[in-house]
Structure formats: C-alpha cells, structure tokens
Amino acid sequence: IAAQSPAAPPPATVATQPPAPAKSHVASAASPWVDVCTDLLAAIENQKGIMGFRNRLVKAGFRCGQPIVKCSKGGYYEISVPLTFPCCYDVAGKDYASNQDMLRSKPQLVKYFEACLALAQSGGAYRTQSERDEERRAAMESSDDDDDDDDAAPAPAP
C-alpha cells in the first residue's frame, strides 16, 4: 500500500477587489432622509438646472461647493450628500465614470433622490455617506503605509 502524500497546501488567495462594504442600515419609509428626498425631488422638477437650488440643498444639510459658471450650460457646483444619508456612490455615483462621490447636475440629483426613495420602498440595506468617507480615508491611509518609497531616505549621490 502506498503511503499517502501530504495534502497540498491550499492555493493562495488572490485579492482582486476589496471586500464589499458592509451595509449596516435598513431603509424604510420612516428613515429620516425620506421626507427630505421627497421634498427636494418635488421641488427640483420645476427647476431648469441646479444653480437656483443651492440654498435649498444647503438648508437640507447638503454640502455645496462654489458655483462654477459656464455660459453655454448655465453652471454647476459640486454637491455632497449629508453624512447620515445613503452613500452617494452606492445609490447613484457608481454608474458614472467620474465624480462618483458627488453630484453636479439636475439629472444626477434626480437620480439620487429617486434611488433613495426606491431604497426606502424596498427596505434595502445601505451604508451612510459617513461610512463611505471613513472607508475611503482608511483605504488611502493604508495605501500610503504600503508605499515604502515615500518613507525611504534619498539615495546617496554617486
């Protein structure tokens, strides 16, 4: 009888993407952001763009950057959702090639509000913008720690 060969070690795991973030909140019609999204969605329907909507967003807790006026398109500004609202990236931003964590147009705002309301209707799980921001900060700090070149002393001159 042949001796059994030792079991081969398990294959090394190759990390292709970071693990999916935990979504620790469950949306419902009672979620505190539902009324805000409902009101803002109704109000923005009558707007041509977002330039006249900035004060209303700020009063609702959104953070708005300085307006950038473009003559042909009217203008825009960067809009960050309140920290306790569903994460912009998860709800609407991941579908865009850039500016995935902020909104800059009426169609993007409408998409965000509609997606938040759909999330509340479905009772889906979500993470807050605050949680997304913290995960991004931690990932940036981790990538800074992994880069030994920044910490190395300069090579001596030849």
At 52-83, the pLDDT tens digits run 899 999 999 999 999 888 766 678 899 999 99
> How far apart are the C-alpha atoms of 116 and 39, rounded to whole Å?
12
Model confidence at 14, pLDDT cuts 50, 70, 90, reads: very low
> How far apart are the C-alpha atoms of 20 and 86, rounded to whole Å?
16
Which residues are bridge partners to 86 per DSSP?
Answer: 128
Got the DSSP string for 119-136? HHHHT-EE-BHHHHHHHH
| 99 Rama sector, left if φ>0, alpha if ψ -120 to 50, beta otherwise | left
> How far apart are the C-alpha atoms of 158 and 148, rounded to whole Å?
22
Q: Which residues contact 86 (CB under 8 A, 6 or more apart)?
A: 25, 27, 33, 115, 116, 119, 126, 127, 128, 129
Q: Helix (H) and strand (E) counts for the chain?
A: 6, 4
The per-residue pLDDT for range 109-151, each reduced to its tens digit, is 999 999 999 999 999 888 998 888 888 888 888 776 555 555 5
Greatest Cα pair distance, the chain, in angstroms, is: 86
Q: What pLDDT does 17 receive?
A: 43
DSSP state of 25: E
The mean pLDDT value for 39-54 works out to 91
- Look up residue 20 and give its two tokens: 């999916």
Q: What pLDDT does 20 receive?
A: 54
Q: What pLDDT does 82 receive?
A: 95
Model confidence at 34, pLDDT cuts 50, 70, 90, reads: very high
The per-residue pLDDT for range 81-111, each reduced to its tens digit, is 999 999 999 998 888 777 788 899 999 999 9
> How far apart are the C-alpha atoms of 117 and 137, rounded to whole Å?
28
Q: What pLDDT does 122 receive?
A: 93
Model confidence at 32, pLDDT cuts 50, 70, 90, reads: confident
